[in-house]
Amino acid sequence: MPEAIELRSLTRWYGKRRGVIDLEADVHEGEVFGFLGPNGAGKTTTIRMLLGLIRPSGGSARILGLDPWTQAPAVHRRLAHLGSDPGYLGDLDAASLLDHLGALRGLQKGAWRSLAERLDLDPRVPLKKLSRGNRQKVGVVSVFMGREPLLVMDEPSTGLDPLMQREFLALVAEARADGRTVFLSSHNLPEVERACDRVAIIREGRIVKIATVAALVGDHTRSVNLVLGRPAAEGAFALPGVTVLSSTGQDVHVMVRGDINPLLRCLGDLDVRDIAISTPDVEDLFFRYYEGTVAGSEGRVVATGGTGIHAEAAP
């Protein structure tokens, strides 16, 4: 049985400018696969080749055993796609657009209604009057309303508020439980941690790491700031992977590398009045894989809807 996605030495050049080089990866059927990268890393170029919109300069990509360039119509019948900045015909309302997209995919009229309700999308509003977040909801509804076995999404939760981001993650989990495969390009590490089974990190056109989310999370460091009602006993934070950076009695700052659960169990015995946990952003992880260090060792808080890194611009 073929993989959902197979990349074999996949390469794309734009003249002398690098797109991606020698990508090697398999995405298994029924998994959620994260694709992480900074601006210009090659995420969108890869997705365009998966969709058959541009042709590889070398190597190959296969979608459910099919060539997306020579067998594009058959590939498109088997996948649903959401781009990083979807554009719509502004004179239509969301209902008309979704019905039109559904008809092209053989869906019944109104197949989108339950999803629109879950995402609190008013389908009667003209698209040109929708906010950025509501336009993104239209794209999320369009990608999930069908039954295609493969979903390919590029920065899909950008612009969604925290409640809708949670609903988006629920939709991803339901798609996985239904046996569908999700290829999720993102810069949002907390989202990837919650949604994905495995992750590929791409930088400067090359995949430098493919790992399970558990392995990726185990590799990075969290900064934990505590405010205690009373000072902790001496040695309370002598735990695996925990380094105390500063302690003034009630204010404690520690770094945690790998599994955070030993620290969380320890906190159950302390009088914790406040806690702030910061994770490195995706760029910090890239620095680790490329330079062997983590830039900004204290990291910074990554909001669920952070937009510090975006998909690269179209060539």
Per-residue pLDDT, averaged over 280-289, amounts to: 56
* Beta strand ranges found along 30-137 (DSSP E): 32-36, 58-63, 79-82
pLDDT of residue 210: 94
Burial class of residue 247 in the structure, from the number of CB atoms within 10 Å of its CB (0-12 exposed, 13-18 middle, 19+ buried): middle
Q: Percentage of the chain with pLDDT > 70?
A: 87
Per-residue pLDDT, averaged over 113-141, amounts to: 94
What's the Cα-to-Cα distance from 79 to each of 130, 253, 274, rounded to whole Å?
Answer: 26, 47, 45
> What is d(CA 56, CA 10) in angstroms, rounded to the nearest whole number?
7
Chain position carrying tokens 């053989």: 106
What type of residue sits at position 298? E
Give, for 211, the enclosing helix (H) or strand (E).
strand 206-212
CA atoms within 13 A on the CB side of 305: 14
pTM above 0.85, yes or no: no
Does 117 score more than 50 pLDDT?
yes
Does 292 score more than 50 pLDDT?
no
C-beta atoms surrounding 292 within 10 Å: 7
Report all structural domains of the chain as residue ranges with CATH numbers, in order of start.
Answer: 5-216 (3.40.50.300), 221-278 (3.30.70.1560)
Give the pLDDT confidence of 181-224 residue by residue, as tens digits: 999 998 777 788 889 999 999 988 999 999 988 777 666 778 89
